[in-house]
Amino acid sequence: MTDKKDPTKLWGGRFTEATDAFVERFTASVEFDRRLYRHDINGSIAHARMLHKVGILTAQELQQILHGLESIRDDIQNDKFEWSIALEDVHMNVEAQLTKRIGDVGKKLHTGRSRNDQVATDLRLYVRDEIDQVADLIVKLQLALVNLADAQADTIMPGFTHLQTAQPVSFGHHMMAWYEMLTRDYARLLDCRKRVNLSPLGAAALAGTTYPIDREYTAQLLGFDGPTRNSLDSVSDRDFAIELAAFASMLMMHLSRFSEELVLWTSAQFGFIDLPDRFCTGSSIMPQKKNPDVPELVRGKTGRVYGHMMSLLTLMKSQPLAYNKDNQEDKEPVFDLLDTVKDCLYAYSEMIPAITCNADLMYQAAKQGYATATDLADYLVKKGMPFRDAHEVVGKSVAFGIEQKKDLAELTLEQLQSFSELIEDDVFQVLTLEGSVNARNHIGGTAPEQVRAAIQVARSMLEKR
Ligand code: ARG
């Protein structure tokens, strides 16, 4: 048999013919996994140091390897590295280049490890770095929301259920509702980080290795909390990526809700707020338009993040232990969901502080739609009427108001008294928007006093992060 095998392949020993050109392209991941180069090199540095510590590499060999890896890192950073599809992935590109630069010593680096534990390590390191960036962006956005809430704690807007006017609320209270959603996202992210931050390095291909490796040491060098506990699970587990995607999906769901409200509020029909021009775009045909493209796009990008979560879940479904090539498909969803989430959080953290509120328009809107009807019912209850009866009385008053085209506060005392004798002239205080909002003065209520208390709690939480 003639030997036509490709000498560039690091695993070519048992092969007798070159890889099909299509298969080479189809199975290669270097086009996207080269993003992992810094983490791959850091993982290799830790591995090499450990090999020296346990007596597998001499001090001189270690130094050669470290220099080689650092020079490769510099070249990649400066765009001077030539990536090769024939070398399949980031791991083999770096390793082949190392041997090219430092000679046969480079071939010792892969002692006691496999690309299977290597890639799992790289991805965890990458995800951990990104988690820290995402966490900072969440905090930045939360701070922006708290500041806006502080400035607008006394601004009254209509609160909605079913998108119908329900009861007046403080605009600051609404901002703090968004803040709360992000508090949960932050907690989920940090919880996910705990399971990301374990080192699979040393699991090797699937069963561990015959060399006297020190997994605690590599874990420590790489800033992991410790080594993972089962080699088969270590190389195949991608739960952390799915958890990350679940976190990201929930976060995007929240951002899509903020977006929907911003889009509504900036419309001529609501007019509650203005977004700065630099966050909007115009229309090529309608000169009057100022479109809220940024929130719309954030809303739209929610779909792709949900998609990535489904991709990752489905990718892992039914996979037998241990590593399977399927797992190469984990990278693009993870990269893209992180890019997307970071962009969206950045956009929001810049946009929120630049919002201007049209307090008058919000106030006028809150006066429409009988937002204080519940307050009238509560007023009657406090005067001794059972709530269900009060509900009925107020319902009739509202129907009368609609007929007269008047708000409850605009009816005369006599007109109101025709629905219940319990109504006296102290009722008008209750029917004002301020009275309604101020009356909801308990933990979690919309009274500006409570909003300020919530802001204070939030500020002290944020300072600790
Ligand atoms: N490029 C591969 C991946 O992304 C690296 C691990 C390959 N391992 C293997 N046994 N083929 O998963």
Q: What's the CA-to-centroid distance between 36 and ligand 1, angstroms?
A: 13
Residue where a domain terminates, one of 305, 332, 363: 363
Active-site residue, 162 included: yes
Q: pLDDT at position 8, please?
A: 81
Residue 33 Cβ contacting ligand 1 at under 6 Å: yes
Q: What's the CA-to-centroid distance between 116 and ligand 1, angstroms?
A: 6
Q: Average the pLDDT over 299-322 and give the result.
A: 98
Q: What's the CA-to-centroid distance between 300 and ligand 1, angstroms?
A: 33
Whether 253 maps to a domain, the answer reads yes
Task: Give start and end residues of each alpha helix (H) in 276-431.
Answer: 293-316, 331-351, 359-367, 373-382, 387-404, 413-417, 427-431
**Atom 3 of ligand 1, nearest CA residue:** 328
Q: pLDDT at position 126, please?
A: 99
Atom of ligand 1 nearest to the CA of 327: 12
Same-domain check for residues 395 and 436 = yes
- What CA–CA distances, in Å, run from 211 to 4, 40, 227, 388, 416? 34, 21, 16, 78, 89
Residue 137: pLDDT above 80? Answer: yes
Angle between helices 37-53 and 59-77 (to 10 degrees): 170
Atom of ligand 1 nearest to the CA of 205: 10
**Residue of 264 and 19 predicted with greater confidence:** 264
Same-domain check for residues 278 and 346 = yes
Residue 2: pLDDT above 80? Answer: no
What CA–CA distance (Å, rounded) separates 123 from 243? 14
Atom of ligand 1 nearest to the CA of 323: 10
Same-domain check for residues 120 and 207 = yes
Q: What's the CA-to-centroid distance between 5 and ligand 1, angstroms?
A: 21
Q: What's the CA-to-centroid distance between 21 and ligand 1, angstroms?
A: 18
What CA–CA distance (Å, rounded) separates 6 from 21? 12
Q: Average the pLDDT over 275-286 and give the result.
A: 87
Residue ranges making up the domain that contains 56: 12-111
Same-domain check for residues 286 and 377 = no
Amino acid at 53: K
pTM: 0.94
Same-domain check for residues 295 and 181 = yes
Residue 115 Cβ contacting ligand 1 at under 6 Å: yes
User: If pLDDT is split at 50, 70 and 90, which confidence band does 9 have?
Assistant: confident
Same-domain check for residues 281 and 215 = yes
Residue-wise over 415-428: b if at least 16 C-beta within 10 A, else e?
bbeebbebbeeebb
Residue 40 Cβ contacting ligand 1 at under 6 Å: no
Q: pLDDT at position 223, please?
A: 98
Q: What's the CA-to-centroid distance between 238 and ligand 1, angstroms?
A: 13
Q: pLDDT at position 391, please?
A: 97
Q: pLDDT, tens digit, for every residue of 219-246?
A: 999 999 999 999 999 999 999 999 999 9
Residue 327 Cβ contacting ligand 1 at under 6 Å: yes
Residue 236 Cβ contacting ligand 1 at under 6 Å: no
Atom of ligand 1 nearest to the CA of 89: 1
Query: Looking at 47, 236, 283, 420, which residue is catalytic?
Result: 283
Work out how many domains the chain is built from and give that number. 3
Q: Is 109 within 8 Å of 48 (Cβ atoms)?
A: yes
Whether 313 maps to a domain, the answer reads yes
Q: pLDDT at position 1, please?
A: 46
Residue 116 Cβ contacting ligand 1 at under 6 Å: yes
Q: pLDDT at position 3, please?
A: 58
What CA–CA distance (Å, rounded) separates 320 from 236? 9
Element (H, E) at 230: none
Q: Is 47 within 8 Å of 94 (Cβ atoms)?
A: no
Residue where a domain terminates, one of 304, 331, 363: 363
Residue 446: pLDDT above 90? Answer: yes
**Atom 2 of ligand 1, nearest CA residue:** 328
Same-domain check for residues 286 and 170 = yes
Q: pLDDT, tens digit, for every residue of 52-107?
A: 999 999 999 999 999 999 999 999 999 999 999 999 999 999 999 999 999 999 99
Residue 95 Cβ contacting ligand 1 at under 6 Å: no
Q: pLDDT at position 16, please?
A: 87
Whether 6 maps to a domain, the answer reads no
Q: pLDDT at position 286, please?
A: 84
Whether 216 maps to a domain, the answer reads yes
CATH of the domain at 233: 1.20.200.10
Whether 4 maps to a domain, the answer reads no
Q: Average the pLDDT over 366-387 and give the result.
A: 94
Query: Looking at 44, 162, 234, 236, which residue is catalytic?
Result: 162
Atom of ligand 1 nearest to the CA of 90: 1
Q: Average the pLDDT over 346-365 and give the result.
A: 97
CATH of the domain at 411: 1.10.40.30
Same-domain check for residues 190 and 289 = yes
Residue showing tokens 């954030």: 298
Active-site residue, 283 included: yes
Element (H, E) at 168: strand 164-170
Q: pLDDT, tens digit, for every residue of 20-60?
A: 999 999 999 999 999 999 999 999 999 999 999 999 999 99
Q: pLDDT, tens digit, for every residue of 157-183?
A: 999 999 999 999 999 999 999 999 999
